[in-house]
Structure 1
Amino acid sequence: MIATTTARPSLTASAGTPVHEACHGLREHTVRIWTQALYCSPLRPSDRPTPHTVCQAIVEQLTACSRVPGGCTALIAQDVGDYPTGFPERIAWCQRTADHAYTVLLTLHPPQFPEDWTAPCRPLVPVPRSGQALH
């Protein structure tokens, strides 16, 4: 079984801004996507996967899910409908395992930032303000 931890790597951008503050929500969003991909993968707790194996399975499953309308979410919805009693335990394991793999990945390969990096992460697409439409 993969040991889980709530501790996060202490990462700091070169300008001194902690990464977890600068990119608030990025970790949670990434782990949510990884959790869904892991849920759809053939990995099981009995496989005792390493973080490296988990990352490989996630990449493979995200590639496979990209070819399915609705992606991993659609596959999970189908599975929940077919096997509702197994969902809570499986999704909890997937979330813990994805979170642990993400922590290990950040510890081994911390992000690199330019020297003048001080701005928080910004969305890649425009986000409308309340009452404003995108054109």
Structure 2
Amino acid sequence: MQELVPLALGQFRRTVNGDLVFLGTNGKKYKSTISCEDKTVIATDRLDVGGIVDVSCIQRLWQRCEGNRVTLDRLPAAGSVHVIDEHHSPLYVAHIEGREITIDSDQPCFVSYRPLLTMRIVRYVLKTDEWGVKTGWQMELEEV
């Protein structure tokens, strides 16, 4: 299971009139929690808190596209790009190069993809249920 949450790159504050304002920068970074239960655990010999890993997310992101070209917010995981029109019919992807996508249509559409994120390990936990013969793990990460 993966949870992908946008990070607030700043803080919320109230003005003297009580209005809520955001004091931060534009842009978007993500934090993620990945958890798993299985009969085996992950190899932790090369996992260090603070270490940097590339995460091919299972959570999909969506972007609206006007025209036949779009630049994705993040690099897509291999084979994960799908495009649909406003009626949910699939459209043909003519070319993918990095974050640049060319679609074989000029009609408005939506591009869906699984992002490939470079993230730093914030924390990980290993779990074992001895009687249930199950093991599991959970990892918390933040995009660099």
Normalising by structure 2, we get a TM-score of 0.24
Higher helix share: 1
Higher strand share: 2
Normalising by structure 1, we get a TM-score of 0.25
Task: Pick 1 or 2: higher relative contact order, CA cutoff 8 A, min separation 6.
Answer: 1
Look at both structures and tell me which one has the larger radius of gyration over its CA atoms. Answer: 2
